Amino acid sequence: MRAFLPSLLMLVSCVCFAASDISELKEDDVVSNNQILFGKNIVPLPAGEWTVAYAKSSQMKIDLGESDVRNNGPFHDVYLARTDKNKLTGMVNIYGAPRLYNSVDASGFSDCDRDTKHYAVAQYGTTSAFPKCSYIDLSSGVMRDGTKLGKIWSDVQATNDNAPASFVVLAYRKAERQSKFAIDFYFAPEQLGFSKEDSWDPDHLSDKQKAYLTKANVWLNEVVQRLKDNLNGDAKNLALPEFPTAL
């Protein structure tokens, strides 16, 4: 019995601190230990309680020629929401394919090409076939009806008077021959030091907003480096820093 006890304690410890497998997430699940298991790699999250607002898994397809269309690996799409005292303080969208069965000739993200729609874009050895980039998006259109996020937003507004008016979105994309990964971090500006009436029009930003976006871009660069390490199998970064607040 004594010999068995340490093994039991180790098992309990592993269960308590395990990451939540993206392939097993369901709506209303709470993410374990602020970590998502994406294939064999850990995707960390900022601190807080993250709840699954939307989760769907499907099979990617590949055409091998002569009408030979086969499954080419699971594709996952998950939206996570974080609340604090009935306030929606942030959201994260993770989607992609951890491991394709067959290599592909292209695995594009059009987001990396639309630099005119983003406040800041950084490329990481990007090719047209396999883009890798990060960017900041200030478009409030993410709340439009008919989208997955739009439905989540409608649910929040129906039950919460403190729903933020807009989000600042920080994004990272990584496409390769046998995998595809994307993550979007949604910040609620008025809960980070801004007024709910502030407009986040890229052409009409205040000095305070510009200073904040410079700070947010530093945050994004740090997060991208941590995600790169983890997605390359070097899981030394098991947490992300808190969303940057206003200066």
List, in order, residues 6 or more apart from 26 with CB less than 8 Å away: 52, 55
Confidence check: pLDDT of 213 > 60: yes
Cα angle for residues 101, 106, 108 (degrees, 5° grid): 110
Any domain includes 29: yes
Tell me the C-alpha distance between 41 and 35, whole Å: 10
Which of the residue ranges 42-46, 129-133, 163-167 has the most confident prediction, judged by mean pLDDT? Answer: 42-46
Judge whether 53 lies within some domain: yes
163 against 104, higher pLDDT: 104
Q: What is the domain extent for residue 89?
A: 4-231
Q: Do the beta carbons of residue 137 and residue 119 sit within 8 Å?
A: yes
Q: Give the global pTM.
A: 0.84
| 91/185 Cα distance (integer angstroms) | 6
**16 pLDDT more than 50:** no
Q: Is 246 within the bounds of a domain?
A: no
DSSP-assigned letters across all residues of 82-106: EEETTEEEEEEEEEEES--SS--S-
Q: Which of 24-28, 118-122, 229-233 has the lowest mean pLDDT?
A: 118-122
Which among 108, 106, 57 has a CA at the least distance from the CA of 78? 57
Which of 102-106, 107-111, 135-139 bottoms out in mean pLDDT, i.e. has the lowest? 107-111
- pLDDT score of 117: 61
User: Are 48 and 82 in contact, with CB atoms under 8 Å apart?
Assistant: yes
Number of domains in the chain: 1
**Encoding tokens for residue 229?**
């390490």
Within a domain: 242: no
Mean pLDDT across the chain:
79
Residue scoring higher pLDDT (65 or 41): 41
Residue 74 domain-assigned?
yes
Contact 37, 29 (CB under 8 A): no
Residue 238 pLDDT grade (very low, low, confident, very high; cuts 50, 70, 90): confident
Compute the radius of gyration of the chain from its Cα atoms.
19
pLDDT the model gives residue 85: 73
Instruction: Tell me whether residue 151 is in a domain.
Output: yes
Query: Does 240 fall in a domain?
Result: no
Question: Considering the domain boundaries, does residue 171 fall inside one?
Answer: yes
The predicted pLDDT at position 156 comes to 63
